[in-house]
Amino acid sequence: MKESPVNSFSGIPMILLILVGFVACAFLFLMAVASQQLGFLTAVIPAFLMLVVSLGGFYMIEPNQAAVLSLFGKYVGTAKDQGLRWNNPFYASRKISLRTRNFESSKLKVNDLDGNPIEIAAVVVWQVVDSAEAVYNVDDYESFVHIQTESAVRAMATSYPYDTHEADVLSLRGSTAEIAKHLTEEIGERLTQAGVQIMEARISHLAYSPEIAQAMLQRQQAGAIIAARTRIVEGAVSMVEMALNELSKRNVVDLDPERRAAMVSNLLVVLCGERGTQPIVNTGSIY
């Protein structure tokens, strides 16, 4: 069911009109009693009752709010005009807030793509964009948003690893922008039938479960060390290759295979070592 607008009347003129009607009914009633023409009462009494019933047609709409109107269970339309409004007194109205809202999901314990238990929570910014769908397509749209958000967070968390050292692999900890975009789309798809638009969704809490936190921290540190060492070795090999090529290109020295291997070994020790090396100066012949 899609939202459709409905016209409403300004409440202030309707109040004045109803007051005038009450005054007219009172005047006619007194005239009928004074002149003893009781036949006028058959017209005055129904008019008075209609004015009393019409008082039930007033309702108030605040800024960024909508009133969903129905007649005996049938959807009539949605009124969004602000202020005191008046409509058919037999219309039932339900107020829906169109303001931007946000909430933080509870901390969920799930397994990531690698099977590691993690704790994750998300902050979601959302807004009702179709009041008819929010009221009639789901039972409780606020509860529906919360439950579907937690379901989407669980599904998203199982699709990515907690962390990775590979540049082309997305992770929950390292790829925050991509993960937020995926989470927003995932929640938005689940809430389209509820008339709700997801404006933003981001991870607010991410951690390993307490029972494996220490072990995973050591594993993470080891992985970081290995990744750093790999980069260092790759850089050192490139630098040694460049040094040998420049020496050979400029004819600085002509090294036999044995001396060339010794130079490569010494350069790698210097470039890959964690501490500063102590050079040994050979004052004699290299042979």
The one-letter amino acid code at 104 reads E
Question: Do both 116 and 197 map to the same domain?
Answer: yes
Regarding whether 265 and 191 lie in a shared domain, the answer is no
* 105 lies in the same domain as 200: yes
Q: Which amino acid is at 203?
A: I
Same domain (yes/no): 227, 247: yes
Q: Are residues 90 and 138 in the same domain?
A: no
Q: What's the CA gap between 74 and 96, in Å, rounded? A: 17
**Residue 228 has what pLDDT?**
76
Shared domain for 202 and 217, answered yes or no, is: no
From the number of C-beta atoms within 10 Å of its C-beta (0-12, 13-18, 19+), residue 218 rates as exposed
Tally of domains in the chain: 3
Task: Give pLDDT, residue 243.
Answer: 77
Residue 267 in any domain: the answer is yes
In this prediction, the residues of the chain whose per-residue pLDDT falls under 50 are: 281
What torsion do the CA atoms of 259, 265, 266, 271 make, to the nearest 10 degrees?
140
Asked, for residue 220, whether it belongs to a domain, the answer is: yes
**Which residues are CB-neighbours of 219 under 8 A, at least 6 positions away?**
none
The CA distance from 111 to 30, in Å, is: 81
Among all chains, which residue has been given the structure tokens 């997801």? 198
Q: Is 1 within a domain?
A: no
Of 69, 94, 119, which one is at a domain's C-terminal end?
A: 94
pLDDT digits (tens, 9 = 90+) for 214-270: 666 776 677 777 777 777 777 777 887 787 777 777 776 666 677 677 777 767 676
CA 21/CA 42 separation, integer angstroms: 16
140 and 227 inside one domain: no
Among the listed residues 93, 82, 118, the one whose alpha carbon sits nearest the alpha carbon of residue 212: 118
Q: Are 122 and 163 contained in the same domain? A: yes
Return the pLDDT at 174.
82
- Residue type at 150 in one-letter notation: E
Domain check: are 105 and 201 in the same one?
Answer: yes
Q: Which domain range does residue 260 map to?
A: 213-272
Q: How far apart are CA 144 and CA 141, in angstroms?
A: 5
277 located within any domain: no
> Looking at the whole model, is its pTM more than 0.75?
no
Which tokens belong to 86? 């008046």
Decide: 156 and 183 in contact? Cβ < 8 Å.
yes
Residues 20 and 80 in one domain: yes
Q: Check: CB of residue 9 under 8 Å from CB of residue 87.
A: yes
Please provide the distance, in angstroms rounded to a whole number, between the alpha carbons at the two ends of the chain: 93
